[in-house]
Amino acid sequence: MGKAKKAFGTKEIATTGILLAICIISQFFKNLSIFITGPIINACIVLAVILANVYCGLILSVLTPITAYIIAASPVMSAVPLLIPFIMLGNCVLALSVHFLMKKDFVKSPKGFVCIKSMIFGVICSAAKGAFMGLTISLWLLPTFIPVESPLRNKLPVFQTTFSLYQFITACIGFVYVFLVCAALRGKALESIAE
């Protein structure tokens, strides 16, 4: 009889810890540009799912908005704290879509990352995250909870773009990083890491 696979063995804990450390370091650059931190965090969530398991990806999905708030809270996060759980959920959408749509094919691909199907699924997973955050945060949460008299109301279109289109773009860039990392771990090496 085969051994039952543990959800959290040494490999999963170590992988999640290393990826969380990378996320935290990237968040110190959050105020420079969303296009620095966003792709790195998205890439780490995807790598956690691919290299460890979906639970590790979900842990990063939940922890990274909290660390972002602690390290460099944006004015809109301070004004609308409900953003944090919806960012968590958006990250979870990314992790779950990677798990269900692409993990198995991606890991088993004989050429590692050079698989058109994986690239297409990467765009679909990015679109799922962007659409979820766009519908929940941009179209509902921000217009509802930023007071009309708040100076942040004038920046509402910028925030709405940040939490919809830019989420899609940064997730796509994150997938490029994932493909580059997995290219370095080609074939059997990637398969053995992800088992």
pLDDT digits (tens, 9 = 90+) for 128-180: 999 999 999 999 999 999 999 999 999 999 999 999 999 999 999 999 999 88
* Residue 167, domain extent: 10-194
| Contact present, 178 and 43 (Cβ < 8 Å) | yes
Instruction: Take residue 139 and report the two structure tokens written for it.
Output: 């179209």
Task: Write a three-state SS string for 3-49.
Answer: CCCCCCCHHHHHHHHHHHHHHHHHHCCCCCCHHHHHHHHHHHHHHHH
Q: Is residue 2 part of a domain?
A: no
For residue 65, report the phi and psi dihedrals to the nearest 5 degrees.
-65, -30
Give the position of tokens 């490029």. Answer: 176
Rounded-to-integer distance, Cα 52 and Cα 173, Å: 21
Q: Is 122 domain-assigned?
A: yes
pLDDT of residue 189: 55
- pLDDT bin (cut points 50, 70, 90) of residue 2 is very low
CATH number at residue 71: 1.10.1760.20
Q: What confidence tens digit (pLDDT) does each residue in 17-36 have? A: 999 999 999 999 887 888 99
Please tell me the distance from the alpha carbon of residue 176 to that of residue 23, in angstroms, as a whole number.
16
Residues 55-73 have a mean pLDDT of 95
Inside any domain, residue 5: no
Q: Flag whether 1 is in a domain.
A: no
Instruction: Read off the pLDDT of residues 98-135 as tens digits, 9 standing for 90 and up.
Output: 999 988 777 666 554 457 788 899 999 999 999 999 99
In the chain, how many domains are there?
1
Residue 4 scores a pLDDT above 60: no
Q: Tell me the Ramachandran region of residue 147: left when phi exceeds 0, alpha when psi lies from -120 to 50, beta otherwise.
A: beta
Residue 79, in any domain of the structure: yes
